[in-house]
Chains A and B, each alone.
Chain A
């Protein structure tokens, strides 16, 4: 398999910044306010290679805001979001080279086939053209059926779109993944396949931040979970230390009131 994630240590720029803590994704007092409403209270978080950090919480708890801050889609009101030690607001283009973003529904161009979509996104992400064979590898590795590769994505299911999203992450050799409720609306089989892909990426050394409502997936795929409520990270724990039932009980306790 040619696709490996995070094959090289941090860039010269990152090393020069002298801020390496070993974490690929790092939030330092990261805050976001919309007017008088605080969507995210100062958040401190570090995700190392090979870690899957699952953010749990109700809608509006600040999960998506955190991801948007890492993507520099919204400006922080305070603190910093770092990717490979680089502040995303100061290096908006370079930091995006290290991450892959997979939203609930991966949006693609309906007039193009799966492999044409991948070709386009991958070449924009990496700045180079890829051979068809290489692209095909990524798609198959992401679990797309071979006969779907040349079909226009207008007819793709949500799960197939996710696979193209993963293939993009593979093609750009992302060191970090930002996943925003990627398994919502997937059927159990597709959801399970997605978890397996995540495990593969994690084993290859990617740092993964995933916002989700799915406690079961969080326990299965995550290495750590963080509970968010009203913009605050109220508790962080390791999935190895807790069973399914306890996780659910804890979550419901936090969500009370």
Chain B
């Protein structure tokens, strides 16, 4: 009986002009977003690969020079785009794509696409994720609001109930009917999306990306299911289809427009992030005075004492190594502790803000879906931090290699020492791989639970439709 009801709802919906038009519009937008996303991804990936190899060439082709100068010369680390960023760009446009790695400093990321964006782009990028998160729920609302309320108005609900149809079967059948109608749009779109991913991935095969893709598919399926169920629940309880539409549009707007903004305000108020200026000022202050409060001069004096004792000599000049290089490395490591503390605190705040966003899913399921989608696409703050950490580790290793070469091969005060260009090759090229899916999902527990909760409540409410009002 449920299948019969679903089949009728499916036919009825497909014959409805409103559905056909809105499905064509949403479908076209979705295809365009996927196409543009794939195109953009391949372009940016090519640029990234070119830039990264050019950077490596610059580094290894440096002439013989003082290793510390080489450390100052530095290099750029470019953040690779993840394959699924073609579906969901996440925070990528706002956090920058490249970091300059040099001696003494952990730099902020540069080149944020949002900086180049025109005013209209402030409304957001139309990625496939935006369309699935905002427009598809709207389509579901338009599709499902009259499910019960419309039949009630037209009198067919009396006719149905006079036949002895179980309200639960009717609700389940209608849910399946709406789902099948959506399937007409979404199944081809999913194939297209898969094709776009396969074509865009450089290996021609998706390899390790499958679990992320599958989970993303499940996330959106759950989201759509929640919307279908909410729409049916509202339609079953409102007197007129007008009222049903009004209530559902209000829910859609609260979920899609109000909640994300309100929650970021709340998160910022509860866990404020420092302004760029405050952050840099505090960082510089700690770099100058050192974390332990000793002046840099005092620390250098102490290091000298220890070094002299180690080599059992009495003056800097009799040291077999370059004390300046050792001192620089020491300063580097002291600085790193400061960076770790300040950047660590900053990312901690981001993470707490992120948890507030995720908990917002209690009211708006979008918050859970947005977080999961970005996390799976590898474009959330968590992934950005993983990349930033990898770049920073690489910087520290590079600087250390340079300082150690200088310390071992020259004497104190000798800044004219030039290292052989073979030294540049001792630093391997920067390579970065996104963290594994388990790590990416570890921060998503609130989203997973809350989306699961919505899904459960939604399905139970449909399955347990016991009685239907007749007017």
Contacts and interface: CB of A to CB of B under 8 A. Distances in A.
17 contacts: A73-B162, A73-B470, A92-B164, A93-B166, A101-B158, A108-B156, A109-B8, A109-B12, A116-B11, A121-B159, A121-B163, A124-B4, A124-B5, A125-B163, A125-B164, A127-B1, A172-B163
A107 interface: yes
Contacts of A116: 11
B121 interface: no
A123 B16 contact: no
Contact of B164 (A97, A123, A129): A97
A112 B158 contact: no
B164 to A, nearest CB: 3
Contacts of A93: 164, 166
Nearest to B7: A120
Interface string A121-155: 10111010100000000000000000000000000
Contact of A101 (B1, B15, B162, B165): B162
Most buried by B among A96, A97, A109: A109
A96 B12 contact: no
Interface in B1-37: 1, 4-5, 8, 11-12, 15-16
Most buried by A among B15, B159, B166: B159
A103 B158 CA distance: 9
B237 to A, nearest CB: 17
Contacts of A120: 4, 8
A124 B5 CA distance: 8
A38 B11 CA distance: 44
A96 B5 CA distance: 18
B155 interface: yes
A105 interface: yes
A82 to B, nearest CB: 16
Contact of B163 (A96, A107, A109): A96
Most buried by A among B8, B159, B162, B470: B162
Contacts of A48: none
Contacts of B159: 101, 103, 106-108, 121
B160 interface: yes
When A and B form their complex, which 6 residue pairs have the shortest distance between CB atoms, in order from nearest?
A96-B164, A107-B155, A101-B162, A111-B15, A125-B163, A107-B156
Contacts of B161: 71, 73, 96
Contacts of A95: 164
A232 B161 CA distance: 27
B163 A124 contact: yes
Interface in A233-250: none
Chain B interface category by residue count: 20 to 34
B120 interface: no
Contacts of A94: 164
Interface string A171-215: 010000010000000000000000000000000000000000000
B162 A112 contact: no
Interface residues of A, number: 30
Contacts of A56: none
B154 interface: yes
Interface of B: 1, 4-5, 8, 11-12, 15-16, 154-156, 158-166, 470
B129 to A, nearest CB: 33
Given A73-B470, A93-B166, A112-B12, A124 B158 contact: no
Contact of A99 (B1, B8, B12, B162): B162
Interface of A: 71, 73, 92-97, 99-101, 103, 105-109, 111-112, 116, 120-121, 123-125, 127, 129, 168, 172, 178
Most buried by A among B155, B160, B164: B164
Nearest to B155: A107
Nearest to A110: B154
A100 B161 CA distance: 11
Nearest to B157: A107
Nearest to A97: B164
A117 to B, nearest CB: 9
Nearest to B153: A107
Contacts of B16: 111
A44 to B, nearest CB: 24
Contacts of A96: 161-164
Contacts of A71: 161-162
B20 to A, nearest CB: 12
Nearest to A101: B162
B21 to A, nearest CB: 15
Contacts of A123: 1, 4
Nearest to A93: B164
A109 B158 contact: no
A73 B158 contact: yes
Nearest to B13: A111
Contacts of A108: 156, 159
Given A112-B8, A112-B12, A124-B4, A103 B164 contact: no
A131 to B, nearest CB: 15
B155 A105 contact: yes
Given A93-B164, A107-B155, A172-B163, 12 more contacts: A73-B162, A73-B470, A95-B164, A103-B158, A103-B159, A111-B11, A111-B12, A111-B16, A112-B11, A112-B12, A116-B11, A178-B162
Nearest to B169: A124
Nearest to B173: A124
B328 to A, nearest CB: 79
A242 B163 CA distance: 36
Most buried by A among B8, B160, B161: B8
A150 to B, nearest CB: 14
A124 B156 contact: no
A106 B158 CA distance: 10
A140 to B, nearest CB: 21
B152 to A, nearest CB: 10
A121 B8 CA distance: 10
A96 B4 CA distance: 19
A120 B5 CA distance: 8
A232 B5 CA distance: 40
A164 to B, nearest CB: 10
